[in-house]
Amino acid sequence: MICSAAMMLVGLTGGVATGKSTIAKMFRQCGAIVIDADELARDVVQPGKPAWREIVMAFGRGILHPDSTIDRHALGAIVFRDKKNLRRLERIIHPRVARQQVKLAKQAEKRNPHAVVIYDVPLLFEAGIDKRVDKIIVVTADRETQIARLRKRNGLSRSEALRRIRNQLPLTKKRRLANYILDGTRDRRRLAREVFKLFKDLRPLG
C-alpha cells in the first residue's frame, strides 16, 4: 500500500477483453476515483517523450503513424509474437506508468482522504503491482467470450486473439489471488448491483 490507511487503493484486473473497462465505469458512477493504466500508457508514449524515443529506437520507425504517434496495431503485431520484445516494451513503459499512478493516487488522497481509488490495470500481477494495492478485484469471462470480443473490438484473427490471451497470466491463477471476483459476462443491471455493493464494502469509514 502506498497511501494512508484511510484511503482504499484497489487493483482492478482480469484477462484481456473480460469487461474491466465496463466495470471501472460502474465504479466511477458509484463515486470511486478511477485511474486507467492504459490511458497512462498512451500518455507516456506521446511523440517526443522519453518512452516514445526508446520505443522508436527499439522497434524502428515502421511502428509510427504519419503524424509520429505510435501505431498500436503495428507495434502489437511485433511484441505479441515474441515475448522478448513484449518484455522489452514493458520495461520501457511500466516504470513510467507506475510513477504516474503513484502521483495520481496521492493527489486523490489529498482531495479526499477516505476515497476509494480503483486502479484499472491489465497486468497487475505480471508487473508486480499486486504488492502495492490494498485489495484486488479480478474480472473474469470465458475464453470464447474473450476471443469474440477481441475479434470484434480489435479486428484480430482467432489465432491473434488467442496469442494475446496466452501472453497474460491465466485467469485461473488470477482468480486464486483475488480478494473479489466479478463475472464480466453477466447482465449489466445485475453486474451494476454487484459493483455498487462491493463499492460500499470497500469504502473506508471516515
| Per-residue pLDDT reduced to its tens digit, 88-100 | 999 999 999 999 9
3, part of any domain? no
pLDDT of residue 39: 97
Q: Is residue 1 one of the residues assigned to a domain?
A: no
Q: Within a 13 Å sphere around the CA of 1, how many CA atoms are in the beta-carbon half?
A: 13
Cα gap 37→93, rounded to integer Å: 10
User: What is the pLDDT, as a whole number, of residue 14?
Assistant: 97
**Residue 146: exposed, middle, or buried by beta-carbon count in 10 A (0-12, 13-18, 19+)?**
buried
> Looking at residue 131, which CATH number applies to its domain?
3.40.50.300
Does a structural domain hold residue 56?
yes
Asked whether residue 145 is assigned to any structural domain, the reply reads yes
Which residue do the cell numbers 485511474 mark?
35
Which range of residues forms the domain containing residue 100?
A: 8-202
Domain assignment present for residue 163? The answer is yes
Alpha carbon distance 59, 74 (integer Å)? 10
Please report, rounded to a whole number, the percentage of residues in the chain having pLDDT higher than 70: 97
Query: Mean pLDDT, to the nearest integer, of 160-188?
Result: 96
User: Do 59 and 93 meet the contact criterion of CB atoms below 8 Å apart?
Assistant: no
- pTM for the structure as a whole: 0.92
Is the confidence at residue 112, as pLDDT, over 90?
Answer: yes
Mean pLDDT, rounded, for 106-110: 95
User: What's the number of domains the chain is made of?
Assistant: 1
pLDDT of residue 3: 45
Within 8 A by CB and 6+ apart from 22, the residues are: 184, 188, 191
User: Of 94, 95, 91, 89, which Cα lies nearest the Cα of 77?
Assistant: 89
Domain presence at residue 154? yes
Domain for residue 85, yes or no? yes
Evaluate whether residue 126 is within a structural domain: yes
> 205: pLDDT confidence band, cut at 50, 70 and 90?
low
